[in-house]
Structure 1
């Protein structure tokens, strides 16, 4: 029987600078996660951190990481050919096959919230007819914080896109918050056959969900993903627990009918 908490050494095969503070690390691995799941990345004697999978394929997996603490700072010191330790995948990802496939999909992201939906977006892009349509509203604080620049440009070819910066003005980008642009989505034309995904900081998800519901969207059509400090990732330590809910086990993806109650 495999040990669910035993880290596996994996070789870093590529490192890409995405923005001022975010890098994407590609590792060699046969692990095949579902869209939206996370893994625990660790460095011996330093610690570990839960990181969502931003892309995966045959024999590899991407993690887009923001340098914000001891473990991630140490990961940023790694070079191609070095080793990262992985365990997982954990949690419930996006219900792509059951809830999204064949529907009009609306995805709203803030900042690095684009990372947990990147692999799902690429699946929709690469498979014509996988969804009826896809609307992507993606916002960043400033130009220096933009990630996945090449894919943002590529997705415009097939998706309806609204890319926005909080205040910066640059060619091809809107100015403002993602909540300013959800009113542009023609929900009434979808005949109820749609789903909405919202990912970003907690306050952004709350305000965006409220704005979307004010347009007549039922809460059961909205899905969000929580970022928590998952330590054990198997529901034993309680670090990610909110009331009776273990985010590592029951999430990180939640329908908004449940997510609206998950407040610290």
Structure 2
């Protein structure tokens, strides 16, 4: 951490002296106090930074969407955190995890393709699995024909394979893990985790929390996720729910910035 912050970020990338700047540090919702104290020790005693703010990533995601009260749903590679936030304060005792994240998507693709005798991908297997995850999608109508679900992925060897089953079932496990993976699996459906997190809070806060359910993280970019999640949560709560995707807001802001600039660079 010392080498990354001091020698790379401050001196090489942004080219400023750390003792002249304040710093904000984003941490996980489950970070321990010992980890935070160690960060403070390095930042104050080694980097000589005058001021520090340590805040949870879930709370910052909620701030980024323009809200201070709501439920932050952080869907990342290693974990999926559901954290209620009230007036900028994280309600820690209501924190929930689904135990199903981006890493499990890759494992599902790998196991499913192995059953089809597609298992010899060599040293590029991680790159291939990450590429396949971009084909994940969620639909509200599963009565469509199989051709509508067909997804073709081109391997580095130029061979084309159909990953329509993996693309659909992998994302469907977010909402129906026990139906697909078995009744004894240690995975909580996303809509159940959100409702459980809200139920752990005071009854007076629940309606206000449902007004802003913020999706963030790489998994939140799966097409159809926000629409399906709103439907699933409303079926449980029988209340209106507002689902917001923070990356969509950032993408819109970025597109307006690129339009106003004189030169456009590919991203």
Instruction: Tell me which protein shows more strand as a share of its residues.
Output: 1
Instruction: Tell me which protein shows more helix as a share of its residues.
Output: 2
Normalising by structure 1, report the TM-score.
0.26
Normalising by structure 2, report the TM-score.
0.26
Q: Which one has a bigger Cα radius of gyration?
A: 2
